[in-house]
Each structure stands twice: as C-alpha cells, then as structure tokens.
C-alpha cells in the first residue's frame, strides 16, 4: 500500500508521518517511510554510494541547479527511493512525504513547463491514498523556525515574505490538483492530534481492502 502525504512546506507533513508510522507499527503493520534523501544512505540504496556530500550541502546544491536539471534530479531521487518497495513484502505500508506532487508544484512555480513536468510524473505509481495536508501559509509561517532557500522561492532578501509568496503559489496548484485528482483534504490548521485522527480515519476506510489486520480508530 502506498500513501502519499502531500502539502506545502510547513504543513506538518513530516510530523504527521512520524506519528502515523508509530501508530501503524504499533498495530502490527510493517510500515516504511519513503524518503528521497535516503539516496545519501548507501546502506539503503547501494547504487547511490557515489553521493558523499553532507545532507545540508546536498540540499543547497540541488537548490542551485537550473530548473529543468533540478526537477529531473529530484524525480530521480524519488525513483530510486521507490525501488526499495520491490524488495519488501506486499503487506508493507509505504508512506511518502510529499511524493511527486509537492516538488512538481514547486518546479512549475519555478518556471518548468507544466506539460513536461506532468509527463515525467505520470510514470510514478498511483498512490492507494493521497492525503492533502492543507494549511494556510500564514499558519505555516507562524510555526516555522527556520527557512530554506528552496521553500522561499530562492529569494533570501526577506525570508518570511518570500516564504509566504512562494507557498501561496504552490498551494494554488495543489488546490487544483486536489480537486482534479480527487485527493482527500485534511485541515492541517487544527491541533496535531486532530489532524492525525483524520488521517487514521481515512486509512481505516481502506483497511478491509488493503491491510491485515484491519485498522480501528479508538
């Protein structure tokens, strides 16, 4: 089973994924988080052993790439990460942080051609469930403690304002895709436990078809 957790930067995706993995594991489900940055871990992905740059520097280098090169490189990272699914049992729950959606939206905002991007991502597996962790960028900004150049539109003159401007553009695209692709929208403006409860309820609805044992939400 593949679950995509989608949203703008600062929506709380990573926090919710960490809680979700713990909850599903506690229920006896083999749960794996698919992290594109695992490409830096040659123990997990041996073919990426040529990458030896520290993660922080690696992210900075990716940000500095030209738009088309960066999009292709990020999607390559996602591709090699997805390959790990082939070595795991069919009953494994895979959770992807952002999957292709967040980066596709980001690269379109950065100027990549929409059709070109969508042709590339069409080759990725369709998730069994896509949860759109939707948040007002103003709320996300209030929660943020630091900012990266990539999530600020590569404009560091005023990080907070740049973050807002860039994230609103990404959110506009994700809102459209949420409707077009019939994703499930989760209000991320609520308390963390309320968001997690909503996520578990959505996963529970798929349990009879995909998971053993069946998930129940207390």
- The tens digit of pLDDT for each residue in 105-164 reads 999 999 999 999 999 999 999 999 999 999 999 999 999 888 999 999 999 889 999 999
Contact predicate 63/70, CB 8 Å: yes
Question: Residue 37: how many CA atoms within 13 Å on its side-chain side?
Answer: 11
Question: What is the spatial order of strands in the sheet that 31-34 belongs to?
Answer: 31-34, 93-97, 2-6, 129-134, 184-187
Q: What pLDDT, on the 0 to 100 scale, is given for residue 42?
A: 75
Taking the whole predicted model, whether its pTM rises above 0.75 is answered as yes
Contacts of 212 (CB under 8 A, 6+ apart): 91
Mean pLDDT value across the chain: 89
Cα gap 160→72, rounded to integer Å: 28
DSSP 65-103: S-HHHHHHHHHHHHHHHHGGGGGS-TT-EEEEESHHHHH
State what percent of residues in the chain have pLDDT above 70: 92
| Separation in Å, CA 218 to CA 4, 27, 36, 78 | 23, 12, 32, 34
DSSP secondary-structure letter at 125?
P
| Domains (range + CATH), the chain | 2-210 (3.40.50.300)
Q: Which of 47-61, 73-87, 98-112, 203-217 has the highest mean pLDDT?
A: 98-112
In this predicted structure, the answer to whether residue 12 has a pLDDT above a threshold of 90 is yes
192: how many CB neighbours lie within 10 A of its CB? 12
């Amino acid at each position: 089973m593949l679950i995509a957790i989608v949203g703008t930067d600062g929506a709380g995706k990573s926090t919710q994924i960490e809680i979700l993995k713990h909850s599903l594991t506690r229920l006896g489900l083999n749960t794996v988080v698919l992290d594109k940055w695992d490409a830096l871990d040659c123990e997990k992905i041996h073919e990426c052993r040529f990458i030896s740059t520290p993660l922080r520097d690696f992210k900075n280098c990716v940000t500095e790439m030209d738009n088309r090169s960066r999009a292709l490189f990020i999607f390559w990272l996602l591709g090699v990460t997805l390959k790990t699914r082939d070595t795991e049992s069919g009953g494994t729950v895979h959770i992807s942080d952002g999957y292709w959606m967040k980066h596709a939206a980001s690269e379109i905002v950065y100027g990549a051609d929409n059709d070109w991007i969508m042709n590339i991502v069409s080759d990725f597996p369709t998730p069994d469930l896509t949860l759109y962790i939707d948040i007002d960028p103003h709320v996300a900004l209030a929660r943020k403690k630091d900012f990266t150049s990539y999530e600020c539109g590569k404009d560091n003159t005023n990080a907070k304002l740049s973050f807002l401007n860039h994230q609103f553009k990404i959110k506009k695209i994700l809102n459209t895709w949420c409707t077009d692709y019939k994703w499930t929208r989760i209000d991320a403006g609520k308390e963390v436990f309320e968001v997690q409860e909503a996520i578990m309820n959505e996963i529970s609805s798929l349990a009879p078809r995909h998971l053993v044992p069946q998930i129940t939400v207390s």
